[in-house]
């Protein structure tokens, strides 16, 4: 048992029903292991739903994939008391940081489920029958690997559910991890349905062809393939499957699904998350660990509707701010958006140096428009549009701006090597393939 590591941590997955009856009747499995039999399409579907449920974890999109990039960067301020998160907010993360360790281990739980589906899918039906489920598993595996490589660089690439193998995997160079992510998404696109072929809420809460294309656009952007990024973003924009919501705040309305959302994670009273709990003040039922940085609020132009989702904390005379993108502190029904159409315009803008695409996004919310395209304008518009959705930290890193920006924001604690998180010490201790020399620089 002493060799059990992150690949086993997410085997026990809490899953739940959803608000729609046609969705609630589909039962996700609680645990994926050798004792779980995938023998028909219903059990295969349950396994795939378990994969989506794992993404809802607090170590993933239920909290930390959204808020951790905010406090690592200049986007948010940590207003809570957890020492491990406080260390993140001053970029003083150590290899022993238990919160960071959870962000490492949880995606591997998702990957484990995805690999199990891929290995056992043909037990459930013909190749044609299982193809959409296999495609969903490849989408989930790609998303989880992507969330690892963008934070740590080289990471173990897990392509099997065999724990004997995965517990001893070496770090795989980031370029190879990206290549596998891209391959998974390209293969998934061929067998995923269009969003218009799914009914609500599965139109946005299960992978579709548009979701795979959109995620591939982001992955290609991060890996430096601007041509592929632009092609995929263009395909999503021109698909006719999605439209920019005319009202920005509608994106965060828990009572309706915006036509702009490409992929989000389902949350209900029965299967909620902690986004509102950690974003809202005590008076609204929350813990209030994460607050918008006042410097961000000041960057919105007068009349920009996006700034309306940043409000003062009425219980704090010092003017500490609250983000109202996540408001359900009690039931946790805020739907974490993984990817939406506005990001596709911003990716296409970056791929093609297009000021028109930047202004399409800015003008939607009455934001200030730009006279020309440049990297500064692009980064600013992404910061304003995608605030509190988990993008700012990696935008700074992938564009080479992290050191300049963060050394000015946090001069007492920032080091250039902070652009990558440390490999959790427990992983090095338990994985015989890893040694101290495998640790990222600076740790």
pTM over 0.95: no
pLDDT of residue 316: 66
- Which stretches of the chain drop beneath a pLDDT of 50? 1-25, 27-33
Three-state SS letters, the chain: CCCCCHHHCCCECCCCCCCCHHHHCCCCCCECCCCCCCCCHHHHHHHHHHHHHHHCCCCCCCCHHHHHHHHHCCCEEECCCCHHHHHHHCCCCCCCCHHHHHHHHHHHHHHHHHHHHHHHHHHCCCHHHHHHHHHHHHHHHHHHHHHHHHHHCCECCCCCCCHHHHCCCCCECHHHHHHHHHHHHHHHHHHCCCHHHCCCCHHHHCCCHHHHHHHHHHHHHHHCCHHHHHHHHHHHHCCCCCCCCCCHHHHHCCCCCCCCEEEECCCCCCCCCCHHHHHCCHHHCCCCCEEECHHHHCCCCCCCHHHHHEEECCCCCCCCEEECCCCCCCCCCCCCEEEEHHHHHHHHHHHHCCHHHHHHHHHHCCCCCCCCCCHHHHHHHHHHHCCCCCCHHHHHHHCCCHHHHHHHHCCCCCCHHHHCCCCCHHHHHHCCCCCHHHCCCCC
- Tens of pLDDT, residues 5-64: 433 333 433 333 332 333 434 544 444 445 557 999 999 999 999 999 999 999 999 999
pLDDT of residue 323: 97
Residue ranges of domains in the chain: 6-402
pLDDT of residue 254: 86
pLDDT of residue 313: 84
pLDDT of residue 320: 85
What is the Cα–Cα distance from 88 to 223, expressed in whole angstroms?
25
- Residue 311, beta-bridge partner list: 322
pLDDT of residue 36: 59
pLDDT of residue 315: 67
- Tens of pLDDT, residues 96-155: 999 999 999 999 999 999 999 999 999 999 999 999 999 999 999 999 999 999 999 999
pLDDT of residue 251: 97
For the domain made up of 6-402, give the CATH fold. Answer: 1.25.40
Q: Alpha carbon of 351 to those of 165, 228, 230, 232: distances in Å?
A: 39, 9, 5, 10
């Amino acid at each position: 048992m002493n060799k059990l590591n992150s690949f086993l941590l997410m085997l026990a997955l809490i899953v739940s029903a959803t608000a729609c009856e046609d969705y609630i009747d589909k039962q996700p499995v609680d645990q994926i292991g050798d004792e779980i039999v995938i023998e028909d399409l219903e059990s295969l579907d349950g396994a795939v739903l378990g994969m989506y449920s794992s993404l809802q974890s607090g170590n993933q999109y239920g909290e930390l994939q959204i808020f951790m990039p905010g406090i690592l960067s200049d986007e948010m301020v940590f207003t809570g008391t957890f020492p491990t998160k406080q260390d993140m907010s001053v970029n003083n993360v150590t290899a022993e940081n238990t919160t960071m360790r959870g962000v490492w281990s949880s995606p591997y739980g998702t990957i484990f489920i995805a690999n199990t589906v891929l290995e056992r899918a043909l037990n459930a039906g013909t190749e044609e029958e299982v193809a959409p489920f296999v495609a969903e598993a490849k989408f989930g595996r790609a998303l989880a690997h992507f969330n690892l490589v963008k934070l740590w660089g080289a990471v173990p690439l897990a392509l099997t559910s065999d724990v004997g193998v995965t517990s001893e995997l070496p770090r795989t160079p980031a370029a190879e991890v990206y290549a596998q992510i891209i391959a998974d998404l390209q293969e998934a696109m061929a067998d995923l349905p269009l969003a218009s072929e799914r009914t609500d809420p599965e139109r946005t809460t299960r992978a579709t062809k548009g979701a795979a294309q959109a995620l591939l656009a982001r992955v290609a952007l991060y890996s430096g393939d601007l041509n592929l990024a632009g092609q995929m973003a263009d395909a999503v924009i021109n698909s006719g499957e999605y439209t920019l919501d005319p009202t920005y705040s509608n994106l965060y309305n828990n009572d309706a699904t915006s036509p702009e959302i490409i992929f989000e994670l389902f949350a209900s009273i029965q299967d909620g998350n902690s986004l509102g709990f950690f974003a809202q003040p005590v008076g609204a039922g929350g813990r209030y660990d994460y607050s918008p940085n006042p410097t961000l609020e000041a960057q919105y132009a007068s009349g920009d509707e996006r700034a309306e989702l940043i409000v003062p904390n009425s219980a704090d005379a010092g003017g500490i701010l609250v983000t109202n993108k996540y408001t359900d502190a009690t039931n946790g029904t805020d739907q974490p958006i993984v990817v939406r159409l506005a990001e596709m315009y911003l990716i296409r803008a970056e791929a093609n140096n297009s000021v028109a695409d930047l202004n399409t996004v800015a003008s939607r919310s009455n934001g200030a428009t730009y006279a020309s395209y440049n990297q500064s304008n692009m980064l600013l518009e992404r910061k304003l549009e995608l605030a509190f959705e988990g993008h700012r930290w990696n935008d700074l890193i992938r564009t080479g701006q992290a050191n300049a920006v963060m050394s000015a924001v946090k001069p007492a604690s920032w080091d250039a090597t902070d652009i990558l998180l440390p490999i959790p010490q427990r992983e090095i201790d338990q994985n015989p393939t890893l040694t101290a020399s495998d640790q990222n620089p600076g740790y």
